[in-house]
């Protein structure tokens, strides 16, 4: 985890973002919980417990800056934003499998975009996001026991 925190701090510096104790705490929280998406409101609550004088705007701005720097992935469902720490800096373009029971996020290395592009001759795809939902192996095993 220390190496990953060091990587994250390097990304902050490369993006000309100050390395503050609040940003380190936010990064540490996200790193400690990187296998799940977390409601931004819960992240906000955690940060305000750690730093009572910290404003909501500062927390949301930091999350947005982390996202712009490629350190945070965001998922929006209706009006609820959720974030998680970037899985792999060496493989920025990837997709996820998300367990519907426990919420665990697993990174998928392959991108099926070519399959879609073949079905759209003459079209230009300019962006996409693919998330698969189901049950992880652990949840399936637990359900089989029940």
38 is in an annotated binding site: no
102 is in an annotated binding site: yes
87 is in an annotated binding site: no
139 is in an annotated binding site: yes
Distance in angstroms (rounded) separating the CA atoms of residues 87 and 7: 12
Residues in contact with 50: Cβ distance below 8 Å, sequence separation at least 6, in sequence order: 22, 25
91 is in an annotated binding site: no
Distance in angstroms (rounded) separating the CA atoms of residues 7 and 1: 10
Helices (H) and strands (E) in the chain, counts: 6, 6
- Let me know how long the chain is: 146
Query: Phi, psi at residue 74, to the nearest 5°?
Result: -120, 145
111 is in an annotated binding site: no
Detail the residues annotated as belonging to a binding site for Zn(2+): 99, 102, 136, 139
For the annotated binding site, the residues are 93, 99, 102, 128, 136, 139
List binding-site positions for Fe cation.
93, 128
């Amino acid at each position: 985890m220390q190496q990953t925190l060091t990587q994250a701090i390097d990304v902050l510096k490369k993006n000309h973002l100050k390395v503050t104790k609040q940003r380190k705490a936010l990064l540490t929280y996200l790193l400690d919980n990187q296998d799940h998406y977390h409601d931004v409101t819960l992240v906000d609550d955690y940060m305000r417990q750690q730093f009572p004088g910290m404003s909501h705007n500062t927390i949301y701005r930091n999350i947005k800056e982390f996202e712009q720097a490629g350190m945070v992935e965001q998922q929006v469902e209706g009006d609820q934003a959720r974030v998680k720490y970037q899985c792999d800096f060496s493989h920025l373009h990837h997709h996820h499998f998300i367990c519907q029971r426990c919420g665990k996020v697993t990174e998928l290395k392959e991108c099926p975009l070519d399959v879609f592009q073949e079905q759209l001759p003459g079209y230009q795809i300019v962006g996409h996001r693919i998330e698969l939902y189901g049950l992880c192996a652990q949840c399936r095993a637990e359900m089989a026991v029940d």
